[in-house]
Amino acid sequence: MREGKPRLAIFGDSHYACLKQADVQGLVDLSALEVEYWGHVGGRFRNLEFRGGAIHPTDDFTAQRFAKFNEKGRLFLPASDFDVILLAGARTYLARSFLALLRLRAQGPFVSRGLMSRILQDNLRDQAGFRLGAALAATSSVRVLLAPIAFYTEYPADLAQMTPEMLALAPDIVPFLWEEVARITTEAGMTLIPQPAGTITNWLWTRAEYAVAGYLAKQDHEHHNAAYGALVLTAMLDHLRRVVLPDAAPAGMLPPG
């Protein structure tokens, strides 16, 4: 590792905004790290590719959009410039896969754990952010962490999708699915930062207190607030303390100022 503070890039789609808000609002102390943000809305991820040890936009317009929101105006993201890269959201969804697999399992034992693992693996490897993260990790020059997009915010109509059979199986199946995501992520050279357990309700939804303001009126059940971002950053710091920040104080959210 280089001398000085470890360098962290937080790379993501619109879901990285809650982490940046937590940082800007001082909800988490990131002073032990040099932090950069590099990201843009998810639709632009289709215009990203990995080559030459870096993530590159495939067109000038996309490059300028990513550069606009980066402190150094970076047009591309080189793995070698950082000690750690955290993929925040980054078009990596779990919610639909978890719900579909739990529903299938509730229909009968013909869907084995092995088959569920294979479906989950294929789904993850098909997602752009996961592939980009794996490519970064394959350079062996940077530690890559993955914090997938959180479950959708709880909503009565959505919660009704959980049948009694699914609810009965959830305590067994949902932890298994998380374990498999961690395994698949590790095999791809990355480390999973799972959704903080305290933010989850009914196994597959995010508690309303972590939603963006006015989420019902906006019909935005997908994005989350600074309080959620602070919990993800705290989990990241807890991990980094064990591997690259051994002398840092215990991670934790700062009290409101």
Find the mean pLDDT for residues 34-39. 96
Q: Are 8 and 33 spatial neighbours (Cβ–Cβ below 8 Å)?
A: yes
CB 9 within 8 A of CB 85: yes
Tokens for 74, please give them.
């970076």
Give the pLDDT band (50/70/90) at residue 250. Answer: very low
Task: Decide: 92 and 15 in contact? Cβ < 8 Å.
Answer: no
Closest CA to 55 of 137, 177, 170: 137
Q: Give me the pLDDT at residue 252, please.
A: 42
Average pLDDT across the chain, whole number: 92
pLDDT tens for residues 52-78? 999 999 999 999 999 999 999 999 999
Q: Angle at Cα 53 formed by Cα 148 and Cα 179, nearest 5°?
A: 25
Helices 17-24, 226-243: inter-axial angle, 10-degree rounding: 80
Domain positions in the chain: 7-243
Task: Tell me the per-residue pLDDT of 222-243, one tens digit each, with 9 for 90 and over.
Answer: 999 999 999 999 999 999 999 8
Which of 47, 33, 71 is closest to 132 using CA atoms? 47
CATH number, domain 7-243: 3.40.50
Residue 255 has pLDDT above 50, yes or no: no
pLDDT single digits (tens) 158-205 = 888 899 999 999 999 999 999 999 999 999 999 999 999 999 999 999
